């Protein structure tokens, strides 16, 4: 019986390329570090383009790569510097060009593609949090800087374009997007959507023969004015959108306002309502076993739970204490707020004085005389 024999592979060209290999790795709880080395190979000078095989020195670069097993993955590359063999070249020493990362880049091209793919459907802050769960460490500001570095390369010889409006801020700020119909990449982003910026752009692109656009009249008039011989067609999205709107109008006219399904059949009449009393399942209730005995600890002592929080130093408690002080009744008061016992006695004397002065039978009354409570006076 022949048994299959398996051997570990040493070919890492599928991971990097044929000029680099993995010689070590280190893994901890949250990250994975892979160490790679460049093989001795020729490299072209970026200035003169001459191939050079003369090694000058080595240097190290560190990149963040796409995560493996949701762990933050780093590549530690040991790469070469070359001496240019062209004596007339201005650059004497140049760096090795890496196929997986650009110069002065701390992330691989594959990781940048992943970041763009996630952030395309999310905000920068949301994309940063989602990528953190996947094992990519990047901030929302860094994602914005990646977008800011995107350059739109215009092609003055383009023959087929697509025109559509995009919202920079929905309901407030809009722009006009122009893309190439061949590979659908963006070639221009113009301010506004009134058609004037599109006119200026078309004046410098007179080779355009086909335009796919939406049904906006501003774009139609701008294209007809600048390029009258250009063919204008509706793009697929807006064509299907208009078709669906017309189909909805047709269905609304032909179909009733409401349809009812009863017994697997469509009916225009509302079925009769059957009232049923909702009752609990007694069998399920009987399956529950519980009692109201209080909980006890391991020693058999009853446990008491107090769900109230007593924080005498809290701002709320201090505020309530001040309010109680303001509304509390002073013992020196009689029960009528703002009136002391002395004030009440004065009012009582004044009332008695008014009664005495109104009487006709009083003689020899001394106004300095004070009446005490509970004493009878003869008038």
pLDDT recorded at residue 354: 64
Query: In the predicted model, is pLDDT for residue 160 greater than 80?
Result: yes
Residues 182 and 160: beta-carbon distance below 8 Å: yes
Query: In the predicted model, is pLDDT for residue 299 greater than 60?
Result: yes
**3 state DSSP class of 334:** coil
pLDDT recorded at residue 351: 65
* R_g (Cα) of the chain, nearest Å: 45
Average predicted confidence (pLDDT) for the chain: 81
pLDDT recorded at residue 126: 92
> Burial code of 88-126, b = ≥16 C-beta within 10 A, e = fewer?
eeeeeebbbebebbeeeeebbeebbebbeebbeeeebee
Burial classification of residue 359, based on how many CB atoms lie within 10 Å of its CB (0-12 exposed, 13-18 middle, 19 or more buried):
exposed
pLDDT recorded at residue 373: 43
Point out which residues pair with 178 in neighbouring strands.
163, 188
**Reported confidence tier of residue 89, pLDDT bands at 50, 70, 90:** confident
pLDDT recorded at residue 360: 45
Question: Mean pLDDT throughout 163-174?
Answer: 86
Query: In the predicted model, is pLDDT for residue 93 greater than 60?
Result: yes
pTM, entire model: 0.53
Query: In the predicted model, is pLDDT for residue 205 greater than 90?
Result: no
Question: Mean pLDDT throughout 61-68?
Answer: 92
Question: Mean pLDDT throughout 245-250?
Answer: 90
pLDDT recorded at residue 63: 92
Q: What is the pLDDT of residues 313-341, one digit of tens each?
A: 888 888 888 888 887 766 555 444 445 55
Alpha carbons 216 and 241: distance in angstroms, whole number: 14
pLDDT recorded at residue 342: 54
Q: Considering the chain, what percentage of its residues have pLDDT values greater than 70?
A: 82
Structure tokens at 90: 């201005």
């Amino acid at each position: 019986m022949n048994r299959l024999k398996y051997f570990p592979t040493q070919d890492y060209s599928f991971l990097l390329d044929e000029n680099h290999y993995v010689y070590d790795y280190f893994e901890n709880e949250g990250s994975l570090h892979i160490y790679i080395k460049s093989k001795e190979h020729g490299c072209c000078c970026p200035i003169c383009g001459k191939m050079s095989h003369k090694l000058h020195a080595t240097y190290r670069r560190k990149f963040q790569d796409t995560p493996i097993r949701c762990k933050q993955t780093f590549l530690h590359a040991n790469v070469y510097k070359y001496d240019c063999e062209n004596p007339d070249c201005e650059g004497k020493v140049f760096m090795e060009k890496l196929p997986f990362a650009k110069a002065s880049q701390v992330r691989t091209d594959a990781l940048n593609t992943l970041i763009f793919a996630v952030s395309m459907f999310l905000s920068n802050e949301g994309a940063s949090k989602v990528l953190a769960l996947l094992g990519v460490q990047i901030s929302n500001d860094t994602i914005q800087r990646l977008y800011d570095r995107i350059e739109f390369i215009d092609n003055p010889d383009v023959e087929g374009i697509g025109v559509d409006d995009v919202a920079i801020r929905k309901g407030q700020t809009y722009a006009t997007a122009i893309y190439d119909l061949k590979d659908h990449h963006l070639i221009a982003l113009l301010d506004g959507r009134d058609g004037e910026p599109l006119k200026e752009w078309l004046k410098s692109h007179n080779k355009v023969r086909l335009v796919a656009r939406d049904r906006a009249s501003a774009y139609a008039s701008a294209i007809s004015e600048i390029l009258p011989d250009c063919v204008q067609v509706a793009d697929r999205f807006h064509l299907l959108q208009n078709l669906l709107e017309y189909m909805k109008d047709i269905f609304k006219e032909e179909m009733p306002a409401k349809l009812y399904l009863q017994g697997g059949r469509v009916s225009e009449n509302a079925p009769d309502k059957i009232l049923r009393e909702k009752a609990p399942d007694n069998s399920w209730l009987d399956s529950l076993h519980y009692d109201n005995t209080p909980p006890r600890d391991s020693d058999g002592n009853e446990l008491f739970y107090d769900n109230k929080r007593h924080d005498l130093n809290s701002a709320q408690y201090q505020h309530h204490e001040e309010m109680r002080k303001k509304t509390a009744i002073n013992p020196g008061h009689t029960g009528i707020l703002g009136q002391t016992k002395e004030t009440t006695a004065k009012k009582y004397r004044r009332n008695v004085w008014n009664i005495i002065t109104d009487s006709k039978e009083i003689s020899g009354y001394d106004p300095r005389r004070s009446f005490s409570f509970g004493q009878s006076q003869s008038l």
